[in-house]
Amino acid sequence: MTEETVAFDIEDGIAWVRFNRPEKRNCMNPALNRRMMEVLDQLEYRDDVGVLVLSGEGNAWSAGMDLKEYFRETEAKGLGAVRKAQGEAYGWWRRLRWYRKPTIAMVNGWCFGGGYGPLFACDLAFAADEAQFALSEINWGILPGGGATKVVVDLLSMRDAMYHALTGELIDGRKAAAWKLVNESLPLEKLKARVTEVANILLKKNPVALKATKDAIRRVGEMTYDNAEDYLVRAQEAANSYDNDGRKEGIRQFIDEKSYKPGLGAYDKAR
C-alpha cells in the first residue's frame, strides 16, 4: 500500500489508515479523495476491523486541499470538473461521519483548512502537542469552505471560531484541545499509544450500540428535546432489531452474574 495516496494496515482489530502524500504534507488532491472512498468501502464491513484510525505519513496529518491540483487544475476544466472534485472530497468526509465503525483522528502534524472536514468527520480526535492547526483560507483570499466554517462554529466558542477564521493564525495541539477542536493533546511520542488505548476500549463495546450512539450524538444536536427523545426511543428499538441478544447478554451478566458494572466497564462480548 506504500505507493498509494492512501495507505493502511490492520492490526488487532484496528485499521490504521494514513494520508500518504508526505512530500505534499498530505494535502488532498482528487486522486487521494477517490482512493479514500475506496479504502473506506474496503474496511467498513470487514470482521477484522472494529475501529478506524485516520492519520498521516510524515510530519503532517493533512495540509488541506491541494491548491494546484484540487483548485487551479480542476477549475481550468470548468464547473463540471469543480463540482465532481467537490463531490468526491465531501463524499468521503460524509461517509466517514456516518461510518459503521468508531473512528479516531490521530493528528500527528499539520492540519489546515480542508483537513478540518475529515477531522470533524471522525468521532474522536487526539493531537500531538507539536501539531499545527490553522484555517489558512483567509491568507490566500477565500472563506473557509468545505465545511470548515461549520466545523469551528460547532466545536469552538463563537469568539474562538471568529478569531481562528479571521486571522489564519497557527495554533498548536494544546490550544486545539483547550478550544475542544480535539479531545486531547499529548507529546508526539505518546500519541499512538494513547490512541491505541482508546481504540482498545472501543473494541470491547457492543458494535451495534457504538454505531447507534455515534449517530445519536450527531443527530440530536439539531433537534428539539421532544424530537430527540422520540428519535432515541426509535433508535434503540432499531438497534435491538439488529442485536437484541447482545443487549440481553449485557443485562444478564450485570443482573444475574453480577460479573461487571456498566458504570465501570463493558460486558464480555465473547460470552
Q: Is the pLDDT of residue 134 over 50?
A: yes
Cell numbers describing residue 134: 490553522
pLDDT score recorded for residue 177: 98
Q: Using CA of residue 166, residue 170, residue 176, residue 178, what is the dihedral sign? A: negative
Tell me the β-bridge partners of 26. Answer: none
pTM attached to this predicted model: 0.89
Q: Is the pLDDT of residue 1 over 70?
A: no
Q: Is the pLDDT of residue 128 over 80?
A: yes
- When comparing pLDDT for 248 and 174, which is higher? 174
Give the model's confidence band at 244: pLDDT under 50 very low, under 70 low, under 90 confident, else very high: low
Do 28 and 66 form a contact (C-beta atoms < 8 A)?
yes
Q: Is the pLDDT of residue 117 over 60?
A: yes
Q: Which whole-number Å values give the CA distances from 28 to 155, 253, 269, in the listed order?
A: 23, 47, 38
Q: Residue 101 CA to chain centroid, in angstroms? A: 11
Give the model's confidence band at 6: pLDDT under 50 very low, under 70 low, under 90 confident, else very high: very high
Residue 229 and residue 235: Cα distance in Å, rounded? 10
Give the model confidence (pLDDT) of 29-38 as tens digits.
999 999 999 9
Among 94-103, 240-249, 253-262, whose mean pLDDT is lowest? 240-249
Give the model's confidence band at 2: pLDDT under 50 very low, under 70 low, under 90 confident, else very high: very low
Assign 3-class secondary structure to the chain.
CCCCCEEEEEECCEEEEEECCHHHCCCECHHHHHHHHHHHHHHHCCCCCCEEEEEECCCEEECCECHHHHHHHHHCCCHHHHHHHHHHHHHHHHHHHCCCCCEEEEECCEEEHHHHHHHHHCCEEEEECCCEEECHHHHHCCCCCCCHHHHHHHHCCHHHHHHHHHHCCCEEHHHHHHCCCCCEEECHHHHHHHHHHHHHHHHCCCHHHHHHHHHHHHHHCCCCHHHHHHHHHHHHHHHHHHHHHHHHHHHHHHHHHCCCCCCCCCCCCCC
Q: Is the pLDDT of residue 3 over 60?
A: no
